[in-house]
Amino acid sequence: MLGRLVNQFLKRESSAYPWGDTLPIFKKADLRICNLESVISDRGSPWNVTPKVFHFRSDAKNIETLKIAGINAVSLANNHTLDFEYEGMFETLRILDDAGIYHAGAGANLEETARPALFEVSGEKIGLIAFTDNEPDWEATSEKPGIFYVPIDSEDDRAKNLFERVRQTREEVDVLIASAHWGPNWGYRPRKHQIPFGHRLIDAGADIVFGHSCHVFQGIELYRGRPILYSTGDFIDDYAVDDMERNDESFIFLIEISDDKTFRLRLYPTLIRHFQARLAEKNEAKKIALKMEKLCRELNTTVKWHEEESYLGISF
């Protein structure tokens, strides 16, 4: 989230500021994806068609912040994409396109919002489908712009449409990522109905379920050899920190995929400090990792803390 106070810092700091000391790890990856939870635009007025408390926007020039980190693609299916009405959303789409950053989950109509972002990385064809169960008033239709809104109910026709699009995209790509902006803002454990829905996404052909919306991270489940990241928590923002549910704690989730489609995850603990992401220092990193280890164990996932390199490893 690059708006509000982060945006104010970016008026006087470099474009790299929000990434803190995390960029060397980002540079190790062949592909970098994030959920972009603020408009990037100099246009639009705050959404007031229906009640909304928070409106997040970052100056158009701050597209450089995404470019500096080498972000390849972003999810726009979330509850802030229309914070500055359709004008802000459409300028965000244009700015991303001009920067060569792929996006999924928002557009001029339902077909555009549900369309996967398709691109190639190191000879591999990648697909990204992004949906959300937030902000039903922003649901795109055949005649209305908006976001790819899908209730987390496998029997709903919109969910069936999502699963079918996953199946179709599976035939076109080598790796398919389903970005899910779902569930409530708080809670270290996914809601019961999210778990079978995540399974259905994998059954339909997703290789990775990339979950977010909740402000704290949740455990990772391995289902049919594929990772479901129920919530990756907050990475960059200006939100007040809850003493009990530490929304300033998260990870860089580095996922390695071998030629035989086996997966290995490396989770580097991070903290938000002064509106930027920072790699957690040894003692704090271990505390964050132990919390994740407990949550993963509840989902029958085995993890290992690597002390020297300060990352949590998951192999399967």
Number of domains, the chain: 1
Q: What is the tens place of the pLDDT at every residue in 141-169?
A: 999 999 999 999 999 999 999 999 999 99
Q: Tokens 């809670």, residue? A: 187
Give the CATH number of the domain where residue 242 resides.
3.60.21
The answer, as to whether pTM is greater than 0.95, is: yes
Q: What is the residue range of 227's domain? A: 4-315
Which DSSP string corresponds to 231-287?
-B--SS--PPPPSSS-TTEEEEEEEEE-TTS-EEEEEEEEEEETTEEEEPPHHHHHH
Q: What is the tens place of the pLDDT at every residue in 188-235?
A: 999 999 999 999 999 999 999 999 999 999 999 999 999 999 999 999
Retrieve residue 149's tokens. Answer: 């809104």
- Are 277 and 258 spatial neighbours (Cβ–Cβ below 8 Å)? no
Distance CA 264, CA 175 (A): 14
Q: What is the tens place of the pLDDT at every residue in 54-80?
A: 999 999 999 999 999 999 999 999 999
Q: What is the mean pLDDT of the chain?
A: 97
